[in-house]
Amino acid sequence: MKLSTSLKRLIYWELGIPLALLSIGIYHGLMQVIYRAGVLRDSSFAKLDYYQGLTLHGVINAVVLTTFFAVAFGHAIMTFYLKKEPNKKVAWISFWMMTIGTVMAAWAMLSGKASVLYTFYPPLKGHPFFYLGSALLIVGSWLPLFDWARMYMRWKKENPTTKTPLAVLGNLANFIIWFVCTLAVAYEVLVLLLPWAMGWTPDINVTLARTLFWFFGHALVYFWLLPAYIMFYNFLPKLAGGKLYSDMAGRIALFLFLLFSVPVGVHHQFSDPSITKGIKFFQSFLTFGVAIPSFITAFTLAASLEYAGRRNGAKGLFGFFKKLPYFDQSRYLFAYFICGLIIFIFGGLTGMVNASAELNNTIHNTAWLPGHFHMTVAGPVFLAIVGMSLYIYSKAAGKRVFMPKVAVIIPYLWMIGILIFSTGLSWGGLIGEPRRTNLGLTYLNPEHELFTPEWVPTTMLGLAGGIIMFVAGMLFLVVFFGTVFRKKTEPAELEFPVSESLHNEKRVPLFDSFKPWLAAMAVILVIAYVPALKDAVTNPGPKAPRFAPESPVPISSTTNVTNYGTEASETK
Ligand code: HEM
Ligand SMILES: [Cu+2]
């Protein structure tokens, strides 16, 4: 369908800005593996410090790119399936809030005033603009949901007995999860961190801040993932040459995410002493609940691919694997999706280890963690985002993809890179290699007394895989921006490779209405989080003063009454 000029521009900017920033994000990924392998034995390179780079890397790749993309993709999905454009005024206000917020946070990070990593745990303190900018980015991304809800309700009124398109349902579920979980982080930022960063309050309840952060932080990973799921259910079967095995399975999986994605954040706090064991156990148990929608998805997609392969002439039990369009340039999205899914198998398996409270003790804060989550967020999520950005742009702008042969190879290169990279990091993690550490200064520096030779092979694998990922990432940017600078040669239309469903399943009201699911979501949230927040408020230990990223000594404050604070003023 044709898009209005205003909506088209909006979508281009929302795809283009984070992809331009990605050059900085991926550059720092490369730098991290170089430092960590001990090739560089310094605290900074080109005036950018390790932790400053790590903050830029996490924030740009995992927060800015994913949020901008989700909003742009949401606009495209709602417009395409409901055949109406969203309210442009709301959409542009949301765009400007997100963009101004990103610029503020980028300034704070680039000037070295907010090297607090993307989790910004207190007592590390960043510049107030970092927190304000993040809050603006988040609140800006809320606005479209209210407008989409209005569009959806009007559509429902006009089509009371038609099944809600699966993609629309997924997009709404995703932004409902996002809205609910970001309420907690907005509270953390605006009520706890910002006044404290401004120096208005002397100290902070670290456990409460962490609990509010992870209320948001785990659901964040589903906010990353659901746009990719929408693509896997709706577009992958068609790209493979087949049909979606079950549309109902997709609905059930998406609704289950409403239940299981938020009330599990405490699984990131297994080592936080203030939270009691019972809550940790309960949330660990709920975490395994996420395996249900994941397996539903895995089986449904596998069945859809098998159907496609057989239609393409495959024989035997697994013959269908050989009959899929892996290198078809006209269907390059298939390559981005299938590579993402292969990587995700390992991401899911390593995630089960993290979720088990006992096993978590072994890998907590080791390189295993980045080994795991690069196979989720930098795997299926990243590949779906970049592939789809290219697809939407080239279709809506009517431009042919620049270097189409390279475009179809990139995901394979990325997959090879990431499997090597994550093998190195996971193996390293199992033998104690820490994450968030500039290893080149000490453990990977043969001249240092802490030199640890066991970590040479693991960090070398990380380096090798990281270089391959870097090359693939840069090639993608060449393909994307090369396409942007091409001339229009095709009809410019928003288009998606929509899959039919294989069976004609009848509409079941329970799986076509948000109300019961939202009610269940509220109940589980209260059961899971009231006790956790109660622990965080009543049993947090001493409150912490402010620390700047570059010094282990707290920043003294005139009104500071904690013992840390007095120590600090004594050292002055
Ligand atoms: C060239 C590609 C990439 C390389 C070589 C790379 C490398 C790394 C390394 C080595 C770390 C761990 C550093 C440490 O803990 O000391 C890391 C952290 C991280 N990476 Fe990547 N990465 C790449 C791409 C990505 C992408 C595409 C995403 C997300 C879409 C991503 C998200 C993250 C996040 C969220 C962290 C955690 C930051 C933190 O601990 O605060 N990375 N990356
Ligand atoms: Cu989690």
C-alpha to C-alpha distance for 242 and 235, rounded to whole angstroms: 10
Closest ligand to residue 53's CA: 1
Q: Taking phi first (over 0 means left), then psi (-120 to 50 degrees means alpha), and beta for anything else, what does residue 276 get?
A: beta
Contact of 354 with 369, CB cutoff 8 Å: yes
Give bridge partners of residue 124 from the DSSP assignment: 547
pLDDT of residue 204: 93
Question: How remote is the CA of residue 275 from the centroid of ligand 2, in Å?
Answer: 16
Per-residue pLDDT of 505-555, as tens digits, reads: 889 989 999 999 999 999 999 999 999 999 999 988 888 888 887 788 888
Question: How remote is the CA of residue 149 from the centroid of ligand 1, in Å?
Answer: 34
Which of 57, 221, 413, 476 to mutate to test ligand 1, by most ligand atoms within 8 A of the CB atom?
57
C-alpha to C-alpha distance for 516 and 319, rounded to whole angstroms: 42
Is residue 49 classed as helix, strand or coil in its secondary structure?
strand
131 contact partners, CB below 8 Å, separation of at least 6 = 120, 189, 190, 193, 194, 197
Residue of higher predicted confidence among 99 and 506: 99
Mean pLDDT of 117-145: 95
The band of 566, judged by pLDDT with boundaries at 50, 70 and 90, is: very low
Residue 565 has pLDDT above 60, yes or no: no
Q: Which atom of ligand 1 is nearest to the CA of 55?
A: 41
Is residue 529 classed as helix, strand or coil in its secondary structure?
helix
State pTM to two decimals.
0.95
Mean pLDDT of 210-221: 95
Residue 561 has pLDDT above 60, yes or no: no
Pocket of ligand 1 contains residue 29 by CB under 6 Å: yes
Residue 274 has pLDDT above 70, yes or no: yes
C-alpha to C-alpha distance for 557 and 559, rounded to whole angstroms: 6
C-alpha to C-alpha distance for 12 and 4, rounded to whole angstroms: 12
Residue 126 has pLDDT above 80, yes or no: yes
C-alpha to C-alpha distance for 363 and 462, rounded to whole angstroms: 17
- Residue 448 C-alpha from the chain's centroid: 36
pLDDT of residue 411: 98
Residue 197 has pLDDT above 80, yes or no: yes
Number of residues assigned to the chain: 572
Catalytic residue numbers, as ranges: 218, 222, 372-374, 435-436
Q: Which two tokens stand for residue 276?
A: 């009691």
Residue 567 has pLDDT above 60, yes or no: no
Mean pLDDT of 167-187: 96
pLDDT of residue 556: 65
Nearest to 152 by CA among 514, 520, 517: 514
Alpha carbon separation from 323 to 28, 413, 550, 564 (Å, rounded): 38, 21, 55, 65
Per-residue pLDDT of 40-49, as tens digits, reads: 999 999 999 9
Is the bond into 370 cis (omega within 30 degrees of 0)? no
Closest ligand to residue 215's CA: 2
C-alpha to C-alpha distance for 502 and 161, rounded to whole angstroms: 20
pLDDT of residue 558: 44
Mean pLDDT of 478-486: 98
Residue 571 has pLDDT above 70, yes or no: no
Residue nearest to atom 4 of ligand 1 (CA): 29
The band of 441, judged by pLDDT with boundaries at 50, 70 and 90, is: very high
Which of 61, 63, 364, 423 to mutate to test ligand 1, by most ligand atoms within 8 A of the CB atom?
61
Pocket of ligand 1 contains residue 61 by CB under 6 Å: yes
C-alpha to C-alpha distance for 97 and 95, rounded to whole angstroms: 6
Pocket of ligand 1 contains residue 376 by CB under 6 Å: no
- Residue 259 C-alpha from the chain's centroid: 19
C-alpha to C-alpha distance for 447 and 431, rounded to whole angstroms: 21
Q: Which atom of ligand 1 is nearest to the CA of 425?
A: 10
Question: How remote is the CA of residue 370 from the centroid of ligand 1, in Å?
Answer: 7
The secondary structure of 98-149 as a DSSP string is HHHHHHHHHHHHHTTS--STTT--TTB---HHHHHHHHHHHHHHHHHHHHHH
Pocket of ligand 1 contains residue 32 by CB under 6 Å: yes
Nearest to 485 by CA among 16, 4, 6: 16
Residue of higher predicted confidence among 472 and 357: 472
